[in-house]
């Protein structure tokens, strides 16, 4: 028996255990899932919550961003979608995407850039955590991703929120939904993505963090709750 053969059953058992635990948790959560979802927005438009001028950047259009395919699945996932292209006379252009869903049911989850960028023809060159301090002592586990297509490079940071959790993997998304269901909540969810096209990744990270922190300083309490839940909102 080779080493690979010896290790294979262990991997299979681990996969089955994790999968079984997730299935059991989801089953119990679904049985207790309330019918009334959590509502962050009560008539407010998501687009109105975010500034069109951030420091030296000013919004030029809402096109030119990498998006998931415009299909029925995406329409069912998101209630509101903000897309912005910001230009600056002194800095690299920045693209902002905020995808918000009033309900996350454990089946339809936010589209992660690891999926939609390759679907748009981009190769993923780098993917690592880039913690982002957003105020009130909250550090968000953001991802930094560097990509390349046949015609350009693009770098981005993004994070997701479900309820008051910030899941970084698919199974953490399911756990976050299940935990909210168990306490009687149907959680909302949001994906925030900030991207640019820089010569190198270090320059991109600096620009993306600069823009993001400058934007956060301009947000209302409601806009911060959309991005970070109660943990990131002013007291």
Per the CB < 8 A criterion, the answer to whether 96 and 156 are in contact is no
What pLDDT sits at residue 111? 67
pLDDT band at 130 (very low <50, low <70, confident <90, very high): very high
Pairing of strands 80-87, 132-133: unpaired
Residue with tokens 């930094």: 144
Query: Which sign does the torsion angle of CA 222, 35, 192, 159 carry?
Result: positive
pLDDT band at 28 (very low <50, low <70, confident <90, very high): very low
pLDDT band at 112 (very low <50, low <70, confident <90, very high): confident
pLDDT of 4 above 50: no
pLDDT of 64 above 50: yes
What pLDDT sits at residue 11? 42
Find the range with the poorest average confidence among 35-44, 45-54, 217-226. Answer: 35-44
Please give the angle made by the CA atoms of 112, 99 and 176, to the nearest 5 degrees. 65
What pLDDT sits at residue 201? 98
Backbone angles phi, psi at 131, to 5 degrees: -55, 140
Range 125-146 burial, b when 16+ CB lie within 10 A, else e: eeeeebebebeeeeebebbbbb
Report the first-to-last Cα separation within the chain, whole angstroms.
61
pLDDT of 9 above 70: no
What integer is the mean pLDDT of 121-138? 95
0.85 exceeded by the pTM? no
What pLDDT sits at residue 134? 94
Beta strands across the sheet bearing 94-101: 53-54, 57-61, 80-87, 94-101, 189-196, 153-162, 143-148, 123-129
Structure tokens at 67: 């998006």
pLDDT of 27 above 50: no
Range 161-200 burial, b when 16+ CB lie within 10 A, else e: bbbebbbeeeeebbbbbbbbbeeebbbbbbbbbbbbbbee
pLDDT of 21 above 60: no
What pLDDT sits at residue 5? 44
pLDDT band at 155 (very low <50, low <70, confident <90, very high): very high
What integer is the mean pLDDT of 22-47? 60
pLDDT band at 105 (very low <50, low <70, confident <90, very high): low
> pLDDT higher for 67 or 99?
99
> pLDDT higher for 37 or 198?
198
């Amino acid at each position: 028996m080779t080493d690979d053969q010896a290790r294979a059953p262990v991997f299979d058992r681990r996969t089955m255990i994790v999968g079984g635990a997730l299935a059991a948790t989801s089953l119990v959560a679904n049985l207790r899932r309330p019918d009334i979802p959590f509502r962050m927005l009560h008539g407010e438009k998501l687009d109105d919550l975010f500034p069109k001028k951030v420091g030296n950047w000013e919004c030029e259009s809402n096109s030119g961003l990498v998006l998931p395919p415009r299909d029925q699945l995406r329409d069912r996932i998101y209630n509101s979608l903000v897309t912005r292209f910001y230009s600056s006379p002194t800095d690299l252009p920045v693209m902002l995407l905020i995808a918000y869903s009033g309900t996350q049911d454990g089946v339809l989850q936010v589209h992660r850039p690891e999926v939609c960028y390759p679907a748009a023809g981009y190769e993923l060159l780098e993917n690592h955590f880039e913690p982002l301090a957003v105020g009130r002592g909250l550090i968000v586990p953001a991802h930094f991703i560097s990509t390349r297509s046949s015609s350009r490079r693009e770098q981005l940071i993004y994070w997701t929120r479900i309820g008051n959790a910030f899941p970084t993997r698919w199974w953490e998304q399911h756990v976050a939904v299940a935990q909210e269901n168990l306490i009687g909540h149907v959680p909302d969810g949001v994906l925030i993505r900030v991207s640019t096209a820089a010569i190198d990744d270090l320059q991109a990270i600096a620009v993306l963090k600069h823009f993001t922190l400058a934007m956060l300083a301009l947000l209302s309490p409601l806009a911060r709750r959309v991005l970070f839940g109660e943990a990131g909102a002013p007291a």
